[in-house]
Amino acid sequence: MLRSRIIPCLLVRDKGLVKTVNFKNPKYVGDPINAVKIFNEKLVDELIVLDIDASRDKREPDYKMIENLAAECRMPFCYGGGIKTVEQAVRISNLGVEKVALSSAAIETPELISHIAAAIGRQSVVVVFDVRKTLFGNYEAYLFNGSKKVKGDLLALAKHAEHLGAGEIVVNSIDNDGKMAGYDEKLIRLVRDAIDIPLTVLGGAGSLNDIKKVIQEHKVIGAAAGSLFVFKGVYKAVLINYPSIAEKKALNTLTN
Residues labelled catalytic: 130
Closest CA to 81 of 22, 35, 14: 14
Give the three-state DSSP class for 215.
Answer: helix
Residue 182 in contact with residue 206, Cβ under 8 Å? yes
Residue 123 DSSP one-character state: G
State the Rg of the chain over Cα: 17
Give the C-alpha separation, 226 to 29, whole Å. Answer: 11
Transcribe 129-187 into DSSP letters.
EEEEE-TTS-EEEEETTTTEEPPS-HHHHHHHHHHHT-SEEEEEETTTTTT-S---HHH
Residue 127 in contact with residue 113, Cβ under 8 Å? yes
What is the number of H-type helices and E-type strands within the chain? 10, 14
The kind and range of the H/E element at 128 are strand 125-133
